[in-house]
Copies of this chain bind each other. A is one copy, B any other.
Amino acid sequence: MAVYTEVSDTDLGSFLADYGLGKLLAYKGIAEGVENSNFLLHVEAGFFILTLYEKRVSAADLPFFLALMEHLAARGLACPQPVKTKNGAMLGMLAGRPAAIVTFLEGVSSRRPTNAQCAALGAALGQLHRAGADFDSTRPNALSLAAWSHLFDLAKDRADEVKAGLSSFIADELAFLEKTWPQDLPRGVIHADLFPDNVLFLGGEVSGLIDFYFACTDFLAYDLAVCLNAWCFEPDFSFNVTKGMALIEAYQGVRKLTREEIEALPVLARGAALRFTLTRLVDWLNVPPGALVKPKDPLEYVKRLRFHQRSNSARDLGLML
């Protein structure tokens, strides 16, 4: 969590002149997200978030992300709403980087989600999928099956530095997923990174879904699998099936899973676990000197993956048939 780019008061002043938000009262760099630089802005119109997009986010994808947030917010989803300049632009340049202002959402993310929070998240995920159903832009998932073998190529020679046998463990899993990955499930816009730090709660309700910078078009049930992994394992990496039930049941309260999705869920959960194993592994092996961000432990996702390898049906994940 870091601020990568500093913004001077004068540069920010000229940037804000294009918006109808009134005078700048205060701004603070905030430690949010690991990809971009974020600032909390206080202007006469209220509180907002200013994001400067750093190089890990492709500038070509920014219009997709911003249009998506605008689309979802217009359909009542609690997500950041991009603020437009007087000329109607959602994206500008600040300190040499693409930059956007979005609304500030109240709420606090949960470090250790409760059963009730897993249920609230499940319903919010269903609403996200429903609100996104008529969004007509698409963006391929740059971190899906096709990408995993490329990520593995970057890490396989050194994976055993992290844990003996890790390289062949991943190679076997990759071979399994290449054989079994579903071809045809309901698709749509997914968040793809809906971890607890990207969900804000206020008084037990979801008050905000944030950080849409991995959003893409993929299987809707894959998004559910990402959430089951991120929300329903306990700190000792045991799967809490009560939380899984709460999440899936609340999701189905908004959007019913098809029979094919239910059958695919265990494989999707394995794939979701492998995706985060791989990205974390590559980051872990490539921490630049003087890095501002502490890499996350890839083995936390290996442990999740081992659980899914032993499970055979969506029932093990909390689905009630």
Write the residues of chain A forming the contact surface with B, with a CB cutoff of 8 angstroms.
1-3, 6, 8-10, 12, 23-32, 40, 42, 104-112, 200, 202-203, 287, 290-292, 294
Contact = CB atoms under 8 A, between A and B. Distances in A.
Given A8-B111, A10-B111, 12 more contacts: A1-B2, A1-B29, A2-B31, A12-B108, A23-B203, A24-B108, A26-B104, A26-B108, A28-B40, A29-B32, A42-B106, A287-B290
Contacts of A112: 8, 10
A291 B293 CA distance: 9
Given A30-B30, A111-B8, A111-B9, A25 B106 contact: yes
Contact of A292 (B2, B27, B30, B287): B2
Contacts of A40: 28, 30, 40
A10 to B, nearest CB: 7
Contacts of A106: 25-26, 42
A72 to B, nearest CB: 20
B30 A107 contact: no
A8 B2 CA distance: 18
Contacts of A104: 26
A117 to B, nearest CB: 10
A109 B28 CA distance: 10
Contacts of A203: 23
A26 B292 contact: no
B3 A31 contact: yes
Give the 4 A-B CB pairs with smallest separation, nearest first: A29-B31, A8-B111, A3-B31, A28-B30
A312 to B, nearest CB: 35
